[in-house]
Amino acid sequence: MSIIGIIGSGAIGTAFATTLARAGIAATISNSRGPDSLKEQVHALGSSIKAGTREQAARADIVLVAVNWGKLPAALAGLPDWDNRIIIDANNPIEAPLFKPVDLKGRVSSEVFADLMPGARVVKAFNHLRAEILASDPKADGGRRVLFYSGNDNAAKAEVAALIDRIGFVGIDLGSLAVGGKLAQFPGGPLPNQNLVKVG
């Protein structure tokens, strides 16, 4: 079983940790302020989730990054080589409070994100639903809630697909970052906020 790290303990990082905790999967969650600031949060999440430093979280086999777009360069700076590990990009190129889309010069946000993490195998996932919905029970309306994923490395996608299945969602492969990343990207794609349930 892969070790999981989380960089960003806000709405999405915590929602992801909640889905892992529900399935009893161990993970280390981190933020910019250090593990002491996360004591109450990890206590509420349950015993499988530990607080760590950004560096500790970044050492995991699979690392989910959920940080405000403009803070990504700082959050990812100075970390050890990614060395072919799997990074889940849960980010969207837009920021509160203005919600002005970032000018990506025509590129897909996950490709811009991937440039910040040379040597990582980037899979885009966990970014298309609002955090409260992501955190809620994936068993809904007689079926299982859908999560989309995309990426350029099929083996990395298979591992993320297995994780999505293990935490109780139905994963749908959207293809490459250029194609699938764009479909699920907010703003710009048609899939964000589509809260879909697969029945049967």
Positions that interact with ligand NAP (CB under 6 A) = 7-13, 31-33, 54, 66-69, 71, 74-75, 90-92, 94, 127, 130-131
Q: How far is the CB of 200 from ligand NAP (least distance, A)?
A: 27
Closest CA to 31 of 15, 52, 8, 11: 8
What's the CA gap between 175 and 116, in Å, rounded?
21
Q: Are the CB atoms for 183 and 148 separated by under 8 Å?
A: yes
Q: Quick one: 75 or 164, whose CB is closer to ligand NAP?
A: 75
In residues, how long is the chain?
A: 200
Q: How far is the CB of 61 from ligand NAP (least distance, A)?
A: 19
Q: How far is the CB of 68 from ligand NAP (least distance, A)?
A: 5
H helices present in the chain, as ranges? 11-22, 39-45, 54-58, 72-76, 109-115, 131-135, 154-166, 182-184
Q: Quick one: 33 or 100, whose CB is closer to ligand NAP?
A: 33
Q: Quick one: 68 or 176, whose CB is closer to ligand NAP?
A: 68
Q: How far is the CB of 186 from ligand NAP (least distance, A)?
A: 7
What the block records as the tokens of 197 is 């349930």
3-state SS string for 32-70: CCCHHHHHHHHHHHCCCEEECCHHHHHCCCEEEECCCHH
Q: Quick one: 90 or 156, whose CB is closer to ligand NAP?
A: 90
Bond from prior residue into 97 cis (ω within 30 degrees of 0): yes
Q: How far is the CB of 29 from ligand NAP (least distance, A)?
A: 9
Q: Quick one: 50 or 158, whose CB is closer to ligand NAP?
A: 50
